[in-house]
Structure 1
Amino acid sequence: MTAPAYRTALVVGAGSGLSASLARLLSKSGLRVALAARSTDDLAHLAAETGAKAFACDASQEGQVARLFAEVEAALGAPDVAIYNASFRTRGPLTELLPADVEKALAVSAFGAFLVAQQAAKRMLPNRHGAIFFTGASASVKGYAKSAPFAMAKFALRGLSQSLARELQPQGIHVAHFVIDGGIRSARRIEPADKPDSLLDPDAIAQTYLDVLRQPRNAWTSEVELRPWVENF
């Protein structure tokens, strides 16, 4: 069976890096693209480049997420692809962490993903068609010292994805979690000349998302790990 066509993609947690690569590739592949971020000030150039529409939304707030989906639906049609790329990270020794920052990490990285998935599923289930993708990290599978909030949030995100895959995939909605296990190349993070390909290329990551999106439902992937060839497991 051939993979079904997708028409409208919503990328939550948009900015430079991976989400920008996703916007470019999805737009180039013929999808209408919506970009959502807490502030849209830095999205004007990307929106102009890709033809995407930008929407302001704090993904940790239920009312704002509901409004986001209503606005995207009115402007571009109901999203049949939702990619959750938002996260908040705070680091430090356990005894020095601020509880408010820990709460924010959980709210943005995990609770926001639940809110977005819920709104997406409400629109996808009647058509038994759609895809919900979550961006994870090394912390999704291993908790590092002095990084408890990020590990808590990313473990929760992975659990959400596994649960939703089992619930929604039999109803035609492809759910997948992407473990980005390594640093991502950017203008501010350039790999050393003596260590070529030691950082993940955001365009290459985006291509993997598109490849998974195009899978026929008789061979769906629910989790992918991506790491540079020099990264330790």
Structure 2
Amino acid sequence: MASKSFYAIISGAGSGTGRATALRFAQAYPVVLLARKPESYNSIVAEIKQAGGQAFGLTADATDETAVNAAFESIKKILPGSKLAAAVYNVNGGFAMRPFLELKREELDASLDAAPKGFFTFAQKTLPLLLESVPESPHPPTLIISGATASIKGSALFGSFAAGKFALRALGQSLAREFGPKGVHVSHAIIDGAIDTPESKDWVANNGAEDGKISPDAFIKIAETYWHLHTQHRSAFTQEIDIRPYVERY
């Protein structure tokens, strides 16, 4: 049964990891979904409500500080008196795959805006709320960051994307060291591999091996991993975890 005194928030709620995470956390909490477009969250909200849960969608571009601030003001009205138990930053953006000398400054800016700068705003809004929940939350209040292969490996042709993901990971590490001792679990999840989506259908990953891409079925497993991170006892926090197909080279 979902707890009505605590809620979870997911920024970057769309198909894939965002949807699966929302569905999993909705089994325990009302969930708030943030996305740039209502089309990204409308079907997820409906799915959760159909299953008997509570879900609310808010339109907010993670790179727009004013929009994010407005979304958090709206949450106060939607869920008055509720406390934040878990926050997930799952924002995609700034992906570019091209030779460095062909990259534009705008592509670097897009990566930095979506990754460290967007997360900076999200973390500044969620961490005070998570700290307030420490004494009463059923599980340690948790801030989870979705990373990527580029978080730890600057591959050729991925210079601007890696710059953003490296910075996101570094900020997450700093926050884990600052807020972990205060009772807030900050964890970075490296999603290492091509994700099987309509946009990537023409990509050949791992020589076309079966399950060589992260499949839609695997999103459920990623969401279960996120839930596991949230429910870890404070004596055994995981600051970073990596998730990849069995044939992925790393």
Question: TM-score, normalised to structure 2's length?
Answer: 0.84
Amino acid at match of 1:218: S
- 1:28-78 Cα offsets, whole Å, 9 max, x none, are 2x2111110111123211111013211010111222111111212321334
Query: In the alignment, which residue of structure 2 is the partner of 1:58?
Result: 61
Amino acid at match of 2:181: P
Query: In the alignment, which residue of structure 2 is the partner of 1:158?
Result: 169
Q: 1:161 touches 1:175 (CA, 8 Å); kept in 2? A: yes
**Distance (whole Å) between structure 2 residues aligned to residue 93 and residue 32 of structure 1:** 44
Q: 1:81 touches 1:130 (CA, 8 Å); kept in 2? A: yes
1:6 and 1:179, CA in 2 relative to 1: closer, same or farther beyond 3 A?
Answer: farther
Q: 2:154 touches 2:162 (CA, 8 Å); kept in 1? A: yes
Q: 2:89 touches 2:119 (CA, 8 Å); kept in 1? A: yes
Query: In the alignment, which residue of structure 2 is the partner of 1:168?
Result: 179
**Which runs of structure 2 are paired with 1:113-192 in the superposition (5 Å)?**
113-128=119-134, 130-186=141-197
2:213 aligned residue (199, 214, 223): 199
**Which runs of structure 2 are paired with 1:6-155 in the superposition (5 Å)?**
7-28=6-27, 30-51=28-49, 52-76=55-79, 77-88=82-93, 89-128=95-134, 130-155=141-166
1:189 and 1:219, CA in 2 relative to 1: closer, same or farther beyond 3 A?
Answer: same
Q: 2:39 aligns to what SS in structure 1?
A: coil
Amino acid at match of 2:85: D
Q: 1:80 aligns to what SS in structure 2?
A: strand
Shift of 1:188: 6.0
Query: In the alignment, which residue of structure 2 is the partner of 1:223?
Result: 240
Q: 1:14 touches 1:35 (CA, 8 Å); kept in 2? A: yes
**Distance (whole Å) between structure 2 residues aligned to residue 37 and residue 79 of structure 1:** 18
Q: 1:139 touches 1:154 (CA, 8 Å); kept in 2? A: yes
**Distance (whole Å) between structure 1 residues aligned to residue 77 and residue 235 of structure 2:** 32
**Distance (whole Å) between structure 2 residues aligned to residue 6 and residue 210 of structure 1:** 18
1:6 and 1:225, CA in 2 relative to 1: closer, same or farther beyond 3 A?
Answer: farther
Q: 2:38 aligns to what SS in structure 1?
A: coil
Q: 2:6 touches 2:30 (CA, 8 Å); kept in 1? A: yes
Shift of 1:187: 5.6
**Considering only aligned residues, what root-mean-square deviation do their CA atoms show, in Å?**
2.0
Shift of 1:22: 0.6
Shift of 1:197: 2.7
**Distance (whole Å) between structure 2 residues aligned to residue 10 and residue 44 of structure 1:** 15
Gaps of 5+ in 1: none
> Runs (4+) of structure 1 moved beyond 6 Å?
none
Amino acid at match of 1:157: L
1:167 and 1:16, CA in 2 relative to 1: closer, same or farther beyond 3 A?
Answer: same
Amino acid at match of 1:7: F
Q: 1:73 touches 1:79 (CA, 8 Å); kept in 2? A: no
- 1:151-182 Cα offsets, whole Å, 9 max, x none, are 00000011011000000011111100000011
Amino acid at match of 2:41: L
